[in-house]
Amino acid sequence: MRVHFSRVALTLGALALIVGSTGPAQTAEPTKDIVTTAVQAGNFNTLAKALAAAGLVETLKGPGPFTVFAPTDEAFAKLPPGTLEALLADKAKLTKVLTYHVVPGTVMAADVAKMSSAKTVQGQSVTIDTRGGVKVDSANVVKTDILATNGVIHVIDAVILPQ
């Protein structure tokens, strides 16, 4: 019975992730890395394409842990015309932008809410504002604590750009 319950819990957790639930964080033990978790969610196709173009897929599949502020496909669509194409054509600049979305370690939502900034893998810090919801730079955090085997994903509604 315990095995059956675990499979049901994992299935429900995966389903909640796929449909984009804004409910409570997953409770099942994660079984996939950050990249696989994001790809299977279905609304991070542009992020996955950008990670591949920058050569960061294997890094984010690695041991970590990482905290990723992951922009959705809709977030990438909000970029000014030509911006995404220009980034995809410039691996160094793309890598700088993508690593600006990654904080070393596993930083859960409760921890993020207590912070005013966080140093990214890129080297600069993102600003965190918790007044009226949580913002990372200019992006709203719309879903939190999506657990992966090598860290956590927090979904944001805009692509954040380093200075």
Host domain of residue 133: 29-156
pLDDT grade for 163, boundaries at 50, 70 and 90: confident
Number of folded domains that form the chain = 1
Alpha-carbon span 158 to 21, nearest angstrom? 18
| Average pLDDT of the residues in 68-80 | 97
Task: Indicate whether 19 belongs to any domain.
Answer: no
CATH number at residue 35: 2.30.180.10
pTM for the whole thing?
0.81
pLDDT at 29 (0 to 100): 82
CA-wise closest residue to 105 among 94, 116, 117, 121: 121
Three-state helix/strand/coil letters over 27-94: CCCCCCCHHHHHHHHCCCHHHHHHHHHHCCHHHHHCCCCEEEEEECHHHHHCCCCCHHHHHHHCHHHH
Task: Indicate whether 9 belongs to any domain.
Answer: no
Task: Indicate whether 80 belongs to any domain.
Answer: yes
Task: Indicate whether 161 belongs to any domain.
Answer: no
Task: Indicate whether 22 belongs to any domain.
Answer: no
